């Protein structure tokens, strides 16, 4: 995607009422060093965070996912258990027979946000936005969630969390003009979640996640046409000039790739 983490359906999370606060990057600090004393201890700490990000263990990534997902949940209205959206998501995902993935219990909820979006984290956190559910049928929802789970199973989401953590370390360095060392505070966790969701995947990663979703559906003898029709719906949004859906490969190409697999496998 050009600017959003959600590889299949990209659109930025909107504030509900204020989802995240922005963070300054390292270059912002350089512009103010002439008038502010720089806390070099904070800079060293941030450099350590950045170095640490590249070697985050699976357990550490899951812990970060726990915290950032919890922060996102606090900032967004969640469909109540037994509500229309919650029941429909549970019904759509039940045939996947995935009580766990990546060794973590599945934890799927709906954000009552109008955006067309969804994401999955290494801790089993899956969030689907109401805007997506309003435009997608159950087969398409399964395809989307399978795609996001695919990114987790293939290790793409771990790399995204490492990247988000590195960027958060840079934000901490920018704040090191104060006397407080850079740490992951509550607001940092909010920024971390947004950076994770906005992380970009490569073309090969997108295709691999599409294929992973296809494999999950095929294994359970579920319809795979939802992947095709979802991409076709997104292609219409592409055609309307909606730049946030300028993913690579293009939506029509991804639809054709899946359709070719269906034609071959039957």
Domain count along the chain: 1
Q: Tens of pLDDT along 206-223?
A: 899 999 999 999 999 999
Which uninterrupted H or E stretch holds 141? helix 138-153
What's the N-to-C CA distance of the chain in angstroms?
A: 30
Residue 164 lies in a domain: yes
Residue 9 lies in a domain: no
Rounded Cα distance between 72 and 69, Å, is 5
Please give the DSSP secondary-structure letter assigned to residue 102. Answer: T
- The boundaries of the domain holding residue 208 are 26-265
Please give the DSSP secondary-structure letter assigned to residue 93. Answer: H
Q: Tens of pLDDT along 8-42?
A: 444 444 433 333 222 222 222 223 333 334 343 44
Residue 12 lies in a domain: no
Note if 140 is an active site residue: no
Residue 19 lies in a domain: no
Residue 15 lies in a domain: no
Closest by alpha carbon to 70, among 124, 24, 117, 23?
A: 124
Rounded Cα distance between 247 and 257, Å, is 15
pTM of the model: 0.76
- Of the candidates 140, 148, 206, 220, the residue annotated as catalytic is 148
Residue 5 lies in a domain: no
Residue 118 lies in a domain: yes
Residue 11 lies in a domain: no
């Amino acid at each position: 995607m050009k600017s959003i983490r959600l590889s299949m359906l990209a659109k930025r999370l909107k504030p509900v009422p204020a989802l995240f606060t922005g963070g300054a990057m390292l270059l912002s600090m350089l512009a103010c060093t002439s008038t502010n004393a720089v806390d070099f201890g904070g800079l060293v700490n941030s450099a350590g965070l950045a170095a640490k990000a590249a070697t985050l263990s699976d357990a550490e990534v899951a812990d970060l996912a726990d915290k950032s997902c919890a922060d996102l949940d606090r900032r967004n209205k969640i469909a109540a258990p037994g509500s229309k959206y919650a029941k429909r998501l549970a019904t759509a995902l039940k045939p996947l027979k995935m009580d766990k993935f990546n060794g973590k219990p599945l934890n799927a909820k709906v954000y009552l946000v109008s955006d067309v979006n969804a994401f999955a984290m290494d801790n089993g956190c899956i969030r689907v936005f109401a805007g997506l559910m309003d435009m997608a049928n159950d087969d398409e929802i399964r395809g989307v969630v399978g795609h996001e789970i695919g990114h987790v199973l293939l290790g793409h989401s771990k790399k995204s969390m490492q990247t988000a953590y590195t960027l958060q370390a840079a934000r901490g360095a920018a704040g090191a003009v104060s006397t407080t060392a850079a740490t992951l505070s509550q607001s940092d966790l909010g920024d971390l979640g947004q950076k994770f969701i906005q992380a970009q995947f490569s073309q090969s990663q997108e295709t691999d996640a599409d294929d992973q979703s296809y494999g999950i559906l095929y294994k359970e003898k579920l319809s795979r046409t939802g992947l095709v029709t979802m991409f076709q719906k997104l292609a219409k949004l592409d055609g309307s000039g909606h730049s946030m859906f300028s993913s690579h490969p293009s939506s029509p190409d991804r639809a054709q790739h899946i359709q070719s697999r269906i034609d071959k496998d039957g």
